[in-house]
Structure 1
Amino acid sequence: MKKFLVILLSLVLAATMAIGLTACEPDDGPGEPIDVAGVYTIDLSESGMPLTVYLQIKEDGAFTFAADDSFATAKSAGTVSKPDTDYLMIFSEVNGETVTTGSKTCHFTEQEDGSLKFNGEIPYGKVTFKSPMTNDDGKEVIFYAIPYTGGGTTENENTVEPGIYYGEYTTGKGEMGTVYSYYLTIREDGKFTALVTFSAMGNDCIGYDYGTYSSMGSACRMTSAVYDDKETQDDLTEALTVDEDGVYTADVRTSRMASDTVKFEVKKLTASPTEVIASYEGEHTVSMGPTMSMSFELTLDIYADGSYKFTAATDGEDPSVETGFLGIENMISRAGILLPDGMETPGDITLDAEGALHGKFSMGAGSRQDVTLTPVAA
Structure 2
Amino acid sequence: MKKSLLALAALGVFAGAAHAQSSVTLYGIIDAGFVYTNNSGGQKQYAMNSGNLQGSRWGLRGTEDLGGGLKAIFVLENGFNVFNGQLGQGGDEFGRQAYVGLSTAQFGTVTLGRQYDSVVDYTGAFEVGSQWASYFGAHPGDLDNMNNSNRVNNAIKFTSANYAGFTFGGLYSLGGNAGQFNRNQIWSVGLGYSQGPLQLGAGYLNVKDPNYSFFGNNANSKTATTAGSTSNFPNSRVIGGYASAKTQQVIAAGGAYTFGAATVGATYSNTQFKDLGSEPGTGLTPVGGFTGGTGKFHNAEINFKYQLTPALLLGVAYDYTKGYGLGDAKYHQAMLGADYFLSKRTDVYIDGVYQHASGTDSTNRAAVASINGLSPSSTSNQVAALVGIRHKF
Fold conserved (TM > 0.5)?
no
- How high is the TM-score relative to the length of structure 1? 0.28
RCO higher in 1 or 2 (8 Å CA, sep ≥ 6)? 2
- How high is the TM-score relative to the length of structure 2? 0.27
Whose helix proportion is higher, 1 or 2?
A: 2
The structure that has the greater radius of gyration is 1
